[in-house]
Amino acid sequence: MRTTLLVGNWKMNKTASEAVSFVRELLRTLPMSPAVEVVIAPPFTALQSVATALGPTSRIGLGAQNLHWEQQGAFTGEISGPMLRDLGCTYVILGHSERRTLFGERDEDIRKKVRAALMNELRPILCVGESLAEREADRTEAIVTGQVTAGLAALTAQELSTLTIAYEPVWAIGTGHAATPEQAVAVHRAIRTCIATTWNRETAEGLRILYGGSVTPQNAESFLSESDIDGALVGGACLKTESFATIALAAQKKRTH
């Protein structure tokens, strides 16, 4: 059985000092279970502070929100894989729709970032998803599987074993309008079929696929109760300890049934 993964993407929120206070409260309130893996992804400026606040034995993992594909060099404002590893990161979110739409990241850029993450022993979380116009044009499966195959091109099945895919319909991110569980499941199944066809079925069955896009304490259980959904990439609801803890409880409940 695939271990449920719950990832909190803080986006551009919380200063380093705010992050420390938040993490201390989170450690007190967040229910932990071996059946659910929890990762938080603060902004770059708070990674060091959060790593220290979590401590070396914390069961909450540390993730980053992006990286550059080069190891070092003249790339002002960018962050490399070795820098993230040195700070204690184990995961990195790549290809988020906000990076694609606001900052012009292309599939080719994201593919290079995925490879750089793997090179530095970081576990990539590849985000894919369609716009509202693409869904209304009945192009959801083509868009999403196209992003999957382009972002993972030339990777081996072994390399895919440490990777996670997050399906985040662009029209649901930050809008308060989540996909229905049925819509999410249909896309998750299409992604798994795509992996099975391009690589092999064993790789597809082992790959975790998360849902993201207006996940809240109110709807988390409806998504996480689906066997095809292996966890959640949470945005706004992860910025308050109580709501994130409620989602974690829903994730635990998934594995007790």
Report the 10 Å Cβ neighbour count for 249: 18
In single-letter form, the type of residue at position 76 comes to: T
Contact 153, 238 (CB under 8 A): no
- Tell me how far the alpha carbon of residue 80 is from its chain's centroid: 18
- Calculate the alpha carbon distances from 60 to 38, 50, 57, 183 in Å: 5, 11, 9, 30
Q: Length of the chain, please?
A: 257
The C-alpha atoms of residue 143 and residue 136 are separated, in whole angstroms, by: 12
The C-alpha atoms of residue 214 and residue 36 are separated, in whole angstroms, by: 20
Picking from 93, 153, 100, the residue whose alpha carbon sits closest to that of residue 117 is: 93
Picking from 2, 125, 115, the residue whose alpha carbon sits closest to that of residue 62 is: 125
In single-letter form, the type of residue at position 223 comes to: F
- Which residues lie closer than 8 Å to 205 by C-beta, 6 or more apart? 192, 196
Contact 41, 63 (CB under 8 A): yes
Q: Which residues are catalytic?
A: 96, 168
Report the 10 Å Cβ neighbour count for 80: 18
